[in-house]
Chain A
Amino acid sequence: MSKDIIRAESVVKILGGNVVLYDASVEIEKGEIFGVIGPSGSGKTTLLRLLIGFFKPEKGDVLLRSTAIKGRQHELYTSVPNNLDVVKNVFGFASQIPSMYMNLTVEENLAYFGHLHGLSIEEINKTGGILLKLMELEDSKETLAKNLSGGMQRRLDLACAIIHKPKILILDEPTADLDPFLRTHIWDIIRKINEQGTTIIVSSHILSDVEQICDRVCIVHKGKTIATDTPENIKKRFIDTEHIRVQTYPGKYKKLKKALSHKTIEEVHEEGQELVITTKNAEKALPHVIKAIAGAKESLTSIAVDRSSLDRVFMQLAEEDQ
């Protein structure tokens, strides 16, 4: 039995005369952290907005498991675009631009969006207190949002997105513009939110983060969802080679290239001052590489192995695109 909480079925979306999404389908399971990745303009943000109901698809449908909706369990799925009034409280949403009123304080922003989600003052106070603690904003609750730092604004934005305890939290580039330390902080918070049972759908162009945090990812490319799986499986599917990058002295690579000829090595080429060796198994190829360097009377100055990563998948897709 499927564990999905929300699914998009062959959705097509046209915006401004452009087909932004074509035949895109995803299934997101309850309680997972689901990543949506793809090059800029591939349709990630449009897909997220379709899931939350900001857009109505030209074709296909976005279906929400009815058990996620309070008081609506008599049917299996509920169409999101056709039932916006009842599904809105299921979702929380945070985009890459913090969505709040800069001239309201932290507390006032939380209270305002809590009211708009239909919460009582007691609920707002209770949940707000928990969120301020979770987001580490307790000391800044009376500070105007515009006076918060970028990281604090992002945390407040997250707090506003989950003030009503949504079943599904959709995050569009939640760590954009943040330094590595703040990025880690935000991902920690996202993980904590997820641990409380919230399904999280996240898009990010920092693929290493996505790889680490997401249970499953979906690659959107040219308006289509070309793969949905765990990061490991995605990498296996798209990347079947590894790169060994070496720098030697005095750097007579012509001679070295000849010495590297071996069954474990697929290809050797120069990239700037580096020699890039493509292999299907770096571990097996490495001894031969070191031996060849020594045989060529070169001194090894640096060596690194590029294992398969989502970044490489991403780059590969970009190259295919060009």
Chain B
Amino acid sequence: MSKLHAIITKEFKLLFRSKSSTLAVLLGPLILVLMVGLVFTNATDQELVIGVTAEYFPNSQEYVQSLEEAFRVVHYEESCEEDVRRSVIVSCVSLTTGTPPRATIYVDPSNVNVVYAVIDQITGQLETQTGTLREGLADNLLTTVSLTRNSIITEQERLTAAHLLFEQQQDRMRTLATDIEGIRVDVQTVSAQELTRAEEDSVGLRGDYQELLGQVLRSYRQNADNTSREAVAFFEDEYETLNDRANQSRAEDVFLSITQSMQSIQEQQSQAATSAQAISEQARQISHAMNVPIQEVNQTAVALQTAGAQLALNITQTDLTRPLEPVIEPVTSQEDDFAFMFPYFIMLIIMFTTLLMASTIIVREKNSSAYFRNFATPTPEWVFVLATYLTTLIVVAAQLVIIALAATLFLSFSLFSLTTLITLLVGITFFTLLGMLIGYSFKGYEGVMLASIAISALLLFVSDLVLPASTIPGAVQTLIQANPLVLAANLLNASIVFGFGLTETAAGIFVLVLYSVIMFALIMIVQRVARIRFFEVASAHEHINRFLGQQDIVSGKELVLGEWNVTSKEHLQQVLSLMTDDEYERYATHSYNLIADWVLDVYKDERLARELRNKSRKGAIEVLQKYS
């Protein structure tokens, strides 16, 4: 543990004691944030200067006005095409008469995107005019529909009234049929009973009549005077007469006549009942037959009602002129484009920072004179690997804290959820190990820089960050899915923007962990190979000394450059090509140059010595080549 602590402490001291490293580490992410921020800040079109030449035609001024609202417009009497070539203006718009009028846009291919902005502006104006026309037509249409609807409503009301009338008539027919049926029944009921009762009543009546006459006669007999006696006698005579007549024929005839009349009536009633039955039947049939027209009237009324209701929908001019109104709803609560890009931005920073930093630490260590001594200590190789990883992790974590605070303050994002932190850790781990692998695979700074940038560019281009995945061929899309940058960025996006938890992101995290394990295994292999190569270079040094170190100068005047004993100019050239820039700077700086001194001392070549001074290692090799 103390070894790990010692190595990490040493790394930080070396990192912060080198001004360039410190600046790169501290300012790197801030510069990146600034640059990306500037890129994502939408520049206003008002800053674009475009030239306009406009012939007169209807609405031409409106088009120009529309352009003036969006851009800085410079008016030209004649063609402004030439000024585009001279980059005075970014685009030239020429509005010319014709059928239809024409808008020609001249543009430098490098500013071709401006064309779309201009077209948008012109078509926007055109759209406004077209919209006005469309709305007029729609207004007429709506008025006609409204009138039709009113007519339908009126007709529907009439039909409803007719329907009611039909139903009333049907009810009446039903009542009529019922009434007629009732009459027939009454007549039939009256017939026999009533006639019998009438006969009995007539017999009774005759008896009552005779009784009454008898009582009157008896009264008069008891109370009558002489005069009256005559009257009584008369009554008695008359009574006798009436009684005889009643008894003999008259009453019977009357009753017979009545009976006959009654029978006649009964027959007529029977005929009437039969007729009533027929009529009732016909009334029922009529009533039944009326159901069909009533139903049809009813259906027509309902259809009209529906049509009326449909026409009565709340249709506006806008509904007609804009049949589909696109509404874009972001799946995230964040409305800013940058918010959506933020996780990808973070992962890009991690990728670039870790790749460059981890590889640089390794190369610096490899080129350090202390590299040798580290091998001589009883410290396992994995401790050095782990120390480099932790150093990078700490630095990147510190950078991320700065970004995270900015994100929390200005973007309302939080990078402090468990899933986000785990995703970041796994992402940093992978890219750090990749950077270390690059560092162990290359010898010089140039090599690791080129390799880091090349790999970063490859990961960037084989992703959907530059081009939408849908525009990339299928085979490459498969690669994109396996791209660790995309994988990590998507995981981060899922956790930051959509708030996914560990359950949803576990599979992706596992894949990244797997990548990291593979990377670690590769590092251990490459590190071992790098160490062997390191010693083989040492042996190559000896080999060069042995076979190229020809004795062309007096023994004892060799130039000792570290482990090299340089014995000739050709030998010097070979040695310089094998040593690193750091090694070279031990012998040749601006203040002293042992190599030039040696050339002057041994070869007495002032010109060569002068040219070798203040030269870099490569420059010195070139000078020696020139003089060889």
Interface residues of A (CB under 8 A from B): 15-16, 18, 20, 39-43, 45-46, 49, 52, 54-55, 84-86, 88-89, 91-93, 95-104, 108-109, 111-113, 115-118, 120, 144, 160-161, 172-173, 176-177, 205, 315
A88 with B376: in contact, given A41-B545, A41-B549, A104-B10 (CB under 8 Å)?
yes
Q: Contact between A18 and B377 (Cβ–Cβ < 8 Å)?
A: no
A86 and B378 alpha carbons, distance in the complex (Å): 8
Q: Which residues of B are found within 8 Å of A113, using beta-carbon distances?
A: 373, 377
Closest residue on chain B to residue A41 by CB atoms = B546
Report the bound CA distance from A42 to B375 in whole Å: 24
Task: Please determine whether B13 and A16 come into contact, CB atoms closer than 8 angstroms.
Answer: no
Interface residues of B in 328-374 (CB under 8 A from A): 368-374
List chain A residues, Cβ under 8 A from B17: 103, 144
Q: A111 touching B6 by the CB < 8 A rule?
A: yes
Complex contacts, B555 vs chain A, CB 8 Å: 315
CB pair A45–B14 under 8 Å, yes or no, is no
Q: Which residues of B contact A161 (CB under 8 A)?
A: 373, 376
Known contacts A88-B377, A205-B565; A99 and B369 CB within 8 A of each other: yes
Q: Which of A41, A88, A144 contacts B547 (CB 8 A)?
A: A41
Number of A-B residue pairs at CB separation under 8 A: 121
Contact with A along B1-37 (1 / 0, CB 8 A): 0110111001001100110000000000000000000
CB distance from B291 to the nearest CB of A (A): 110
B117 within 8 A of A: no
For this complex, 17 residue pairs linking A to B, each with C-beta atoms less than 8 Å apart, are: A15-B536, A40-B546, A41-B542, A41-B543, A41-B545, A41-B546, A41-B547, A45-B563, A46-B542, A85-B378, A89-B378, A97-B583, A99-B371, A108-B13, A115-B6, A116-B7, A144-B17
B562 at the interface (CB under 8 A from A): yes
Give chain B nearest CB distance to A224 CB in angstroms. 14
B535 at the interface (CB under 8 A from A): yes
Give A87 Cβ to nearest chain B Cβ, in Å: 9
Across the interface, which residues of B come within 8 angstroms of A177, CB to CB? Answer: 560, 562
Which residue of chain B has its CB nearest to the CB of A205? B565
Question: Cβ of A15 and Cβ of B539 under 8 Å apart?
Answer: yes
Q: Return chain B residues, CB-CB under 8 Å to A40.
A: 542, 545-546, 549, 565
What is the chain B residue whose CB lies nearest that of A97? B562
B369→A173 contact, CB < 8 A: no
A103 touches B14 (CB 8 A): yes
Chain B residues positioned under 8 Å from A16 (CB to CB)? 536, 539-540, 543
Residues from chain A with a CB closer than 8 A to the CB of B13 are 103-104, 108
> How long is the Cα–Cα vector from A35 to B538 in the complex, in angstroms?
21
Interface contact B14-A116, CB-CB below 8 Å: no
- Give bound CA distance, A84 to B5, whole Å: 23
Q: A16-B539, A45-B563, A88-B377 are contacts. A100–B369 as well, Cβ < 8 Å?
A: yes
In the complex, residue of chain A having the shortest beta-carbon distance to the beta carbon of B377? A116
Q: Taking A101-B368, A102-B368, A115-B3 as given, write out 15 further A-B residue pairs in contact, using a Cβ cutoff of 8 Å, ordered by the A residue number.
A: A15-B536, A15-B539, A16-B536, A16-B539, A20-B539, A46-B542, A88-B376, A95-B563, A97-B583, A101-B14, A101-B370, A108-B13, A116-B374, A117-B377, A120-B2
* Chain B, 35-75, CB within 8 A of any chain A CB: none
With a cutoff of 8 Å between Cβ atoms, the chain B residues found around residue A49 in the complex are 535, 538
Q: Do A93 and B376 touch (CB < 8 A)? A: yes
The reply to whether B373 and A99 contact each other, CB–CB distance below 8 Å, is: yes
Q: In the bound complex, what is the Cα–Cα distance between A224 and B379 (angstroms)?
A: 32
- Is there an interface contact between A46 and B376, defined as CB atoms closer than 8 Å? no
Main secondary structure of the interface of B (DSSP, over half): helix
CB distance from B542 to the nearest CB of A (A): 5
Given contacts A16-B543, A46-B542, A89-B378, contact A96 B6 (CB under 8 A): no
For A56, give the chain B residue with the smallest CB separation. B532
Q: How far does the alpha carbon of A116 sit from the alpha carbon of B369 in the complex, in Å?
A: 16
Q: How many Å lie between the Cα of A111 and that of B540 in the bound state?
A: 33
How many chain B residues touch A (Cβ–Cβ < 8 Å)?
40
* Alpha-carbon distance A315/B371, docked complex (angstroms): 34
Collect the chain B residues with CB atoms within 8 Å of residue A144's CB.
17
Contacts of A91 in B (CB 8 A): 376
Closest to B6 in A: A115
Complex Cα gap A43–B542 (Å): 8
- How close is B553's CB to chain A, nearest CB, in angstroms? 14
- Give the docked Cα–Cα distance between A96 and B549 (Å): 18
State how many angstroms separate the Cβ of B25 from the closest Cβ of chain A. 15
Question: Shortest CB–CB separation between residue A303 and chain B, in angstroms?
Answer: 22
Provide the residues of chain A in CB contact with B14, threshold 8 Å. Answer: 101, 103-104
Shortest Cβ gap from A166 to chain B (Å): 9
What is the distance, in angstroms, from B379's C-beta to the closest C-beta of chain A? Answer: 5
Chain B residue at minimum C-beta to C-beta distance from A18: B543
Which residues of A have CB within 8 Å of B539? Answer: 15-16, 18, 20, 46
Residues of A within 8 A of B563 (CB): 45, 95-97, 172-173, 176
Nearest A residue to B582 via CB reads A102
For B5, the chain A residues whose CB sits under 8 A away are: 115
The 8 Å CB contact of A52, one of B370, B376, B536, B583, is B376
Which residues of B sit under 8 angstroms from A92, Cβ to Cβ?
376
Please determine whether A98 and B369 come into contact, CB atoms closer than 8 angstroms: yes
**Can you list, as one digit per residue, whether each of B233-274 has a CB less than 8 Å from chain A (1) or not (0)?**
000000000000000000000000000000000000000000
A92 to B372, CA, bound (A): 12
B536–A116 CB distance below 8 A = no
A112 pairs with B6, CB closer than 8 A: yes
B572 to chain A, nearest CB (A): 14
Chain A residues within 8 Å of B542, by CB: 20, 40-41, 43, 45-46
B window 369-416: CB within 8 A of A: 369-380
What CA separation (Å) do A41 and B6 show in the bound complex? Answer: 37
How far, in whole Å, are A115 and B14 apart by their CA atoms in the complex? 17
Residues of A within 8 A of B380 (CB): 85
B 515-551 binary contact with A (CB < 8 Å = 1; else 0): 0000000000000000000011011101101110100
Task: List residues 543-597 of chain B with CB under 8 A from any CB of chain A.
Answer: 543, 545-547, 549, 555, 560, 562-563, 565, 583
Residues A176 and B560 in contact in the complex (CB < 8 Å), given A15-B535, A118-B378: yes
CA distance A115 to B625 in the complex (A): 46
10 shortest A-B CB distances, which residue pairs? A41-B546, A115-B6, A15-B539, A116-B377, A88-B378, A99-B373, A40-B545, A103-B17, A93-B376, A99-B372
**Nearest chain A residue, comparing its CB with the CB of B374:** A116
What residue of chain A has the Cβ atom nearest to residue B538's Cβ?
A45
CB-based nearest B residue for A101? B370
> Chain A residues near B369 (CB, 8 Å)?
97-100, 102
Distance (whole angstroms) from the CB of A322 to the closest CB of chain B: 8
Q: Report chain A residues within 8 Å CB of B538.
A: 45, 49
Which residues of chain A are within 8 angstroms of B560 by Cβ–Cβ distance? 176-177
Q: In the bound complex, how far is the Cα of B18 from the Cα of A88, in angstroms?
A: 31
- A92, B2: Cα distance in complex, Å: 20
Q: Kindly list chain B residues whose C-beta atoms are within 8 Å of the C-beta of A97.
A: 369, 372, 562-563, 583
- Residues on A with C-beta less than 8 A from B372 are 93, 95, 97, 99
Set B18, B371, B379, B540: member contacting A116, Cβ < 8 A: B379
Q: Please indicate the chain A residues that have their CB under 8 angstroms from the CB of B10 in the complex.
A: 101, 104, 108, 112
